[in-house]
């Protein structure tokens, strides 16, 4: 036994420990058993295949290098095993698979082609690996030939999938988009993996996730440069980044909420211990710092995987990825609605979108109806592809459409973001490096794949008297024609701001309400040429107990001779000229016609005479179109003299009719 251990250790270039502490004894015994088992299996395998000893030695060394993640050394050593034995089935299988995983599809196809020609029953055993490598390398014709070289067993799903993929690639290449996808370069990408690109709605920030040192995941951001690109990215720091794993960041359209995935969470409760969960951070205004991220809690998070969230433009629907029970296999896309101040129990988007594979990284466009996501369960170019679909109703979506080449390739396209104008797409792909080592790419988005064109309203809700901003005001967007409520927004709790995105070429009614204030109604219209223009629309609201100030204006005075109850033509002209500028505003004006006398005669006669004089003037005012309902005519007798009735001149000043207008300021 001891000699056997020494031999195996020498073959694997490992030292032999002669003496160990007692507490490690059982571990060593277990290691010996494992090594003996591996040795016997290797011997039996070599015996059954008739593998030369030298070839088997190279094979064992290659497997050891692979276990130590020395992949280049492992591949070189495994090639030596094949050179020693051109019918070494296991060596071909291992090397071909390693090369495939490294995205070296042409090299992988050459290895599998050699295996199919040199190994016993190779054309059948290596048909699918060879076909897969050929298809991924772009050689679909030979890939299909390899598949059809033998008859698959009934129910061979892998054969059917490869067959369908080959035909899909042929069709995709025949109708590929004219635009080219460009790597975003060193300012954004690095030797590490970059994933989950996201551009803020105002296009002033570019966010993404970077894998640091192949271990840690952190958020980075970049500012725009003066040439339409982006400056060098920087780590976002605390509190969004932490010693834990943070990934898949996304921001609400109004810029106040950041949603993120945090993994390896350690807590005592049962719904977020370990694994990955959804967290949310908030900021009062675009210039204020982010709060410490808080978990969504048990309504959204479970002991299963939850992550890769995106939010609808009105902040009322949260889409995310989970592998919780109730799905269709792997990771699915789920959605939760915000109703009456609470996030509702999530529901699966259904089999029209989710498959037995993984659907991940959903991105809902600013139009609130176009959904982009990644899937490896739908027909595509290979690996994970990007898809899009459009919302028809609350629970019905169009059939997912593959976004085609060159957005999708035989490599993995993992996450996607579309700018608010719908013109540009950012996505992560590992097409130019090892599997999983993603870079971010950009491309002009073909019109067919663009979201519905929208325009924007942004502003603040405030008190119209003291100009204080009003948070938590509800803003309901309605169809101006049929009155149906289309969206429900709320002014931000910090700075009372709001941003609303709406499809163009349509008229909308805005209804704003808030406790303690009078409801406000407005209408807005976005013509087609308003695309991407930002409309500033502030909503001012009056307190519910507000009373508008009343102003009384003495418009004119008509004087009467002693005991007279008639008006002259000159008086009539005066009435017409004085009221003419006010006639268009009479719906807000009350007209008071007050008649007065001097103190000569009896009070009863004076009161009657003052009524007659006021009535004469009121009749002339009615002839100008002023309704009787908006007038008050009354005689006050000798009350309210303007001067003492000491002489005839002063008494004539008191014999009068005054016309007063009362209206709100």
* Distance of alpha carbon 69 from alpha carbon 413, whole angstroms: 24
- pLDDT(57) > 90: yes
pLDDT one-digit tens code per residue, 223-242: 999 888 999 999 999 999 98
pLDDT one-digit tens code per residue, 183-212: 999 999 999 999 999 999 888 899 999 998
Residue 265 DSSP symbol: -
**How are beta strands 631-635 and 590-596 bridged, if at all?**
parallel
Q: What is the mean pLDDT of the chain?
A: 85
> CATH fold of 182-449, please?
Neuraminidase (2.120.10)
Residues 6+ apart with CB under 8 A from 635: 594, 595, 596, 607, 608, 609, 610, 611, 612, 613, 614
- pLDDT(656) > 80: yes
The reported pLDDT for the residue numbered 266 is 53
- pLDDT(143) > 50: yes
- pLDDT(11) > 70: no
> CATH fold of 550-664, please?
60s Ribosomal Protein L30; Chain: A; (3.30.1330)
The reported pLDDT for the residue numbered 533 is 66
Confidence category of residue 531, pLDDT binned at 50, 70, 90: low
- pLDDT(15) > 70: no
Domain boundaries, the chain: 1-45, 50-174, 182-449, 462-533, 550-664
The reported pLDDT for the residue numbered 547 is 81
- pLDDT(25) > 80: no
* Angle in degrees, CA 604, 607, 609, rounded to 5: 110
pLDDT one-digit tens code per residue, 385-416: 999 999 988 788 999 999 999 999 989 999 99
The reported pLDDT for the residue numbered 2 is 38
Confidence category of residue 265, pLDDT binned at 50, 70, 90: low
The reported pLDDT for the residue numbered 24 is 32
- pLDDT(272) > 80: no
Architecture of domain 462-533 in this structure: Sandwich (2.60)
* Region 50-174: CATH code: 1.25.40.10
> Euclidean distance between the first and final Cα of the chain, in Å?
106
- pLDDT(47) > 50: no
Task: Using the structure block, give the residue that is written with the tokens 């002489």.
Answer: 647
* Distance of alpha carbon 66 from alpha carbon 629, whole angstroms: 96
| 32 backbone dihedrals φ, ψ, rounded to 5° | -60, -45
pLDDT one-digit tens code per residue, 87-133: 999 999 999 999 998 888 999 999 999 999 989 888 888 988 998 88
Confidence category of residue 274, pLDDT binned at 50, 70, 90: low
The reported pLDDT for the residue numbered 506 is 81
């Amino acid at each position: 036994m001891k000699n056997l251990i020494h031999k195996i250790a020498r073959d694997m270039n490992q030292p032999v420990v002669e003496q160990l502490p007692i507490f490690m004894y059982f571990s060593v015994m277990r290691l010996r058993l494992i090594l003996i088992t591996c040795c016997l299996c290797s011997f039996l395998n070599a015996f059954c295949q008739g593998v030369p000893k030298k070839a088997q030695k190279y094979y064992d060394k290659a497997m050891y290098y692979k276990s130590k993640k020395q992949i280049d050394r492992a591949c070189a050593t495994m090639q030596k095993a094949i050179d020693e034995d051109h019918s070494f089935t296991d060596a071909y299988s291992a090397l071909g698979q390693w090369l495939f995983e490294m995205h070296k599809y042409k090299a992988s196809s050459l290895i599998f082609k050699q295996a199919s020609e040199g190994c016993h029953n190779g054309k059948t055993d290596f048909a699918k690996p060879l076909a897969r490598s050929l298809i991924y390398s772009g050689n679909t014709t030979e890939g299909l030939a390899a598949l059809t070289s033998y008859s698959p067993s009934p129910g061979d799903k892998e054969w059917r999938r490869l067959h369908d993929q080959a035909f899909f690639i042929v069709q995709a290449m025949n109708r590929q988009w004219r635009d080219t996808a460009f790597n975003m370069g060193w300012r954004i990408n690095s030797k590490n993996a970059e994933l989950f690109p996201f551009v803020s709605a105002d296009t002033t920030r570019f966010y993404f996730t970077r894998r640091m040192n192949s271990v840690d995941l952190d958020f980075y951001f970049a500012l725009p440069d003066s040439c339409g690109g982006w400056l060098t990215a920087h780590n976002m720091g605390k509190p969004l980044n932490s010693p834990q794993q943070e990934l898949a960041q996304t921001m609400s359209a109004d810029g106040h909420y950041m949603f993120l995935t945090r993994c390896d969470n350690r807590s005592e409760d049962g719904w977020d211990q370990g694994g990955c969960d959804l967290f949310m951070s908030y900021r009062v205004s675009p210039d204020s710092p982010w709060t410490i991220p808080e978990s969504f809690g048990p309504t959204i998070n479970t002991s299963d995987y939850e992550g890769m969230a995106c939010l609808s433009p009105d902040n009322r629907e949260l889409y995310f990825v989970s592998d919780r029970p109730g799905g269709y296999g792997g990771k699915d896309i789920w959605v939760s609605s915000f109703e009456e101040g609470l996030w509702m129990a999530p529901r699966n988007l259904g089999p029209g979108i989710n498959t037995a594979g993984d659907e991940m990284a959903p991105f809902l466009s600013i139009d609130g109806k176009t959904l982009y996501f990644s899937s490896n369960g739908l027909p595509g170019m290979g690996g994970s592809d990007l898809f899009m679909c459009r919302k028809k109703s609350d629970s019905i979506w169009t059939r997912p459409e593959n976004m085609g080449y060159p957005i999708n390739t035989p490599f993995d396209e993992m996450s996607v973001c579309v700018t608010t104008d719908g013109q540009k797409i950012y996505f992560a792909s590992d097409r130019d490096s090892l599997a999983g080592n993603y870079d971010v790419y950009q491309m002009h988005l073909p019109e067919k794949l663009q979201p519905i064109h929208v325009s924007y309203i942004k502003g603040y809700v405030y008190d119209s008297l003291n100009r204080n901003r009003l948070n938590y005001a509800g803003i309901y967007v309605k169809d101006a024609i049929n009155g149906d409520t289309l969206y429900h927004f709320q002014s931000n709790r910090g700075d009372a701001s709001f941003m609303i995105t709406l499809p163009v070429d349509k008229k909308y009614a805005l209804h704003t309400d808030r406790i303690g204030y009078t409801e406000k109604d407005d209408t807005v219209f976005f013509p087609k040429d308003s695309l991407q223009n930002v409309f500033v629309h502030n909503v001012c609201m009056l307190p519910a107990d507000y009373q508008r100030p009343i102003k009384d204006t003495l418009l004119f005075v008509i004087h009467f001779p002693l005991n007279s109850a008639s008006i002259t033509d000159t008086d009539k002209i005066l009435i017409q000229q004085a009221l003419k500028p006010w006639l268009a505003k009479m719906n807000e004006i009350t007209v008071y016609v007050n008649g007065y006398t001097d103190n000569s005669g009896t009070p009863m006669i004076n009161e009657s005479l003052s009524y007659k004089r006021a009535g004469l003037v009121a009749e002339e005012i009615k002839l100008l179109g002023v309704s009787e309902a908006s007038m008050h005519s009354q005689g006050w007798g000798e009350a309210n003299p303007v001067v003492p009735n000491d002489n005839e001149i002063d008494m004539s000043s008191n014999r009068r009719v005054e016309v007063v207008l009362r209206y709100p300021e």
